[in-house]
Amino acid sequence: MADNYILLPSGVLAFGKGLQEQNVDERVKSWQENITNMAFFLILAGSQTAEIEGISAAGSTAVSRRYTAVADAELLLRGPNLPKRWPLPPLPAGVSPALISYVASRFLKIQPTIISAGLLQSPSFTHVSLESPEIGPARCLSSGNAMQRRRVKLLLDGGFKIGKKLKKSILITECVPGGTTTASAVLSGLGLNVNGLISGSHRNPPSELKINLVKQGLKAAKLKKNPSSVDLMAAVGDPFQPIAVGLLMGARESGQEILLGGGCQMLAVLALALNEIESESRSEFVSKILIGTTSWLVDETLSAAANKNSFIHLMNHVANHFKVDILGLASGYRFKDSNQKVLRDYEIGYVKEGVGAGALSLLAQIKGLTQKEMIERCDTEVANLFKSNNEKNFQGI
């Protein structure tokens, strides 16, 4: 794997096809300079796919996963101490990645613009809605009819208009329970074999369950060969995807640099965008796009037989499919020395990523927040979370 990654002095890991150290250094420096002048978006979305038993650990029960997105957003916006309307859902282990995102974003002094679609709740914080909140979550992808095509077009166009107006670099993040499964579905629908490469919030993601749901959904959808991204998202996607694809395509049209904060879901968004672009324009399109994630996701090996870093393999798979080079960066923060068990749980494979934790940590790291300071700050905020009377449902209280 030596030609697949470069360890930068700050502890940031660069990975992907066609890596060149000078190019990586230039792009990291560009983000370092742009942190105080960037647009930060958090997209919240809902899909009934998340209610399938065992599909997601972003909430221990199907009912709790219905409000994971709003609870995580509240934690990111308000931190552990302030009263919140939505308690964090109980987790099998670990703590919401929104806590890491809160610590990093506070250090960076940035706050997100929140876009929501398909939630069962009306968020109690300022947010942008691109559709009527009454529409509710997407149907389970196994139906092959997750969303109406006109809904997908509306969300895509709404995201595109926002992206096109931007005159600054853009960070796109998400919170979508069940989202790695819909990501797997659209990537499979694009013709990529992603079996055994899709992660998730579980310590051992339920690969067989996801594969079966995806097969069922694509079979029911009866898509034509080489489907459009709109048709694919309507069949087996979720509301986050068209918003993010629109934002991405609009921001690139206005010439902006983009950091996609997340893992498999962001690769799916990038693939859906590339699918809509003429092949000769694809390399230029990805030239200002980075994937930003966590070291825990990059370290993960999902298939014992493959003995590979599954996420790097997946990213290179997408790159090969579209004949482009995609660059990824992973934050180097670790929690082995944390005093909090829920943070040390990340080191044994729980949670891994979400709510932009990897990208925000990455930006904090290249801006100078040391490993020791990050652990101390996260330890303090976990302690605050334990103390908060409003977090009675939090795992461990």
> Would you place residue 386 in the very low, low, confident or very high pLDDT band (cuts 50, 70, 90)?
confident
Q: Which of 310, 149, 316, 351 is nearest to 237 (CA)?
A: 149
Instruction: Give the number of other CB atoms < 10 A from CB of residue 303.
Output: 13
Its pTM surpasses 0.85: yes
What confidence score (pLDDT) does residue 1 get? 39
* pLDDT tens-digit readout, 243-277: 999 999 999 999 999 999 999 999 999 999 999 99
Work out the mean pLDDT of the chain and round it to a whole number: 89
CA distance 163 to 155: 12
What confidence score (pLDDT) does residue 206 get? 66
Is 229 a domain residue? Answer: yes
What confidence score (pLDDT) does residue 255 get? 94
Q: Three-class SS of residue 260?
A: strand
What confidence score (pLDDT) does residue 59 get? 58
Is 392 a domain residue? Answer: no
DSSP state at residue 143:
G
Helix, strand, coil fractions of the chain, as percent rounded to 5: 50, 10, 40
Beta bridge partners of 329: 14, 292
Please state, for a pLDDT cut of 90, what percent of the chain lies above it. Answer: 66
Tell me the CATH number at 166.
3.40.50.10210
> Would you place residue 158 in the very low, low, confident or very high pLDDT band (cuts 50, 70, 90)?
very high
As for how many domains the chain has, the answer is 1
Q: Which tokens hold the place of 319? A: 């790159």
* Domain assignment of residue 297, given as a range: 2-387
What confidence score (pLDDT) does residue 209 get? 82
Is 395 a domain residue? Answer: no
Taking the chain, what is the end-to-end CA distance rounded to the nearest angstrom?
42
Q: Three-class SS of residue 81?
A: coil
Is 222 a domain residue? Answer: yes
pLDDT tops 90 at residue 205: no
pLDDT tops 90 at residue 279: yes
CA distance 43 to 331: 21
Is 95 a domain residue? Answer: yes
Is 316 a domain residue? Answer: yes
* Mean pLDDT, range 327-350, rounded to an integer: 93
User: Are the C-beta atoms of 168 and 38 separated by less than 8 Å?
Assistant: yes
pLDDT tops 70 at residue 337: yes
CA distance 119 to 392: 23
Is 7 a domain residue? Answer: yes
> Would you place residue 229 in the very low, low, confident or very high pLDDT band (cuts 50, 70, 90)?
very high
Instruction: Give the number of other CB atoms < 10 A from CB of residue 277.
Output: 17
Is 393 a domain residue? Answer: no
What confidence score (pLDDT) does residue 285 get? 97
